């Protein structure tokens, strides 16, 4: 498995696989295979794939740790960029097919419908993370600020589920929302558990170092001498 993950063809293969849903949607749109309302189908499908790739990128670290496969980390950046790519395609499809790229109508729609506001804010955060995902950005921002910015992926996960929930609320269809919500809750819950575990492990040596020497102090000193 390690040899496969470290193979020089692994990243090109993953890149191709990640593009397949987008290629299929383009083909389906051109061939008129998206149903009675192709614009809505395209917009929603791109949103669904954004959620799927978000789940995938958040699953990289738990899988890396639980399976003892550090080579998985080399794919995290690419998956994160594909989250931003599908989110941007989702937003552009909405702006083009629903709003005709009319900035005034888009602004009114965002103000009128909260789920679009939430989705737009999540898209903005993803765009910022994508724009600063390169080594030069890390040097420019500094490691601490860069880390805090990219931890906003947790906020994106929450905003994405809220966006999806409000969108489906009109039709009272929450089955898919529950599935994605459960997956993201499990992935984020694992991170909280892992952070608490590391904190407790870091405190244990300090508590041990501060523990008083028991028994006869004079005898202990003499023995150690």
Summarised one tens digit per residue, pLDDT across range 34-85 is 999 999 999 999 999 999 999 999 999 999 999 999 999 999 999 999 999 9
Q: Which residues contact 130 (CB under 8 A, 6 or more apart)?
A: 80, 81, 84, 85
pLDDT at 210: 61
- What are the tokens at 59? 């699953």
Domain boundaries, the chain: 2-207
State the pLDDT at residue 206. Answer: 64
What percentage of the chain reaches a pLDDT higher than 90?
Answer: 73
Compute the residue count for the chain: 225
Rounded distance between C-alpha atoms, residue 13 and residue 156, angstroms:
27
DSSP SS3 for 211: coil
Closest CA to 22 of 99, 87, 74: 87
Would you say residue 191 has pLDDT above 50? Answer: yes
Structural tokens at position 184? 């993201």
Gap between the Cα atoms of 54 and 181, Å rounded: 12
Q: Which two tokens stand for residue 215?
A: 């028994």
Please, which residues have CB within 8 angstroms of residue 160's CB and are 6 or more apart in sequence? 50, 51, 54, 119, 122, 180, 184
End-to-end alpha carbon distance in the chain: 53
Question: Any alpha helices (H) in the chain, and if so which ranges?
Answer: 2-6, 10-30, 38-67, 76-93, 103-112, 114-131, 135-141, 143-150, 153-169, 175-210, 217-224
pLDDT surpassing 80 at residue 24: yes
Digit-coded pLDDT (tens) for 26-42: 999 999 999 999 999 99
The whole-number pLDDT of residue 3 equals 85
Which tens digits make up the pLDDT trace of 118-171? 999 999 999 999 999 988 898 899 989 999 999 999 999 999 999 999 998 877
């Amino acid at each position: 498995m390690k040899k496969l993950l470290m193979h020089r063809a692994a990243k090109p293969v993953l890149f191709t696989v990640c593009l397949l849903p987008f290629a299929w949607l383009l083909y389906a749109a051109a061939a008129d295979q998206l149903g009675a309302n192709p614009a809505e189908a395209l917009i929603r499908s791109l949103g669904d794939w954004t959620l799927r790739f978000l789940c995938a990128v958040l699953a990289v670290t738990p899988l890396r740790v639980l399976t003892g496969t550090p080579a998985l980390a080399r794919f995290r950046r690419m998956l994160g960029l594909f989250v931003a790519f599908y989110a941007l395609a989702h937003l552009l499809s909405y702006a083009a097919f629903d709003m005709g790229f009319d900035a005034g109508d888009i602004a009114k729609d965002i103000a009128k419908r909260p789920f679009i506001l939430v989705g737009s804010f999540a898209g903005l955060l993803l765009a910022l993370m994508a724009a600063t995902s390169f080594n030069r950005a890390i040097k420019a921002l500094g490691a601490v600020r860069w880390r805090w910015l990219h931890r906003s992926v947790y906020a994106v996960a929450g905003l994405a589920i809220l966006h999806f929930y409000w969108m489906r609320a009109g039709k009272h269809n929450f089955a898919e929302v529950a599935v994605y919500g459960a997956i993201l809750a499990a992935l984020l819950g694992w991170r909280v558990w892992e952070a608490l575990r590391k904190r407790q492990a870091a405190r244990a040596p300090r508590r041990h170092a501060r523990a008083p020497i028991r028994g006869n102090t004079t005898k202990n000193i003499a023995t150690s001498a």
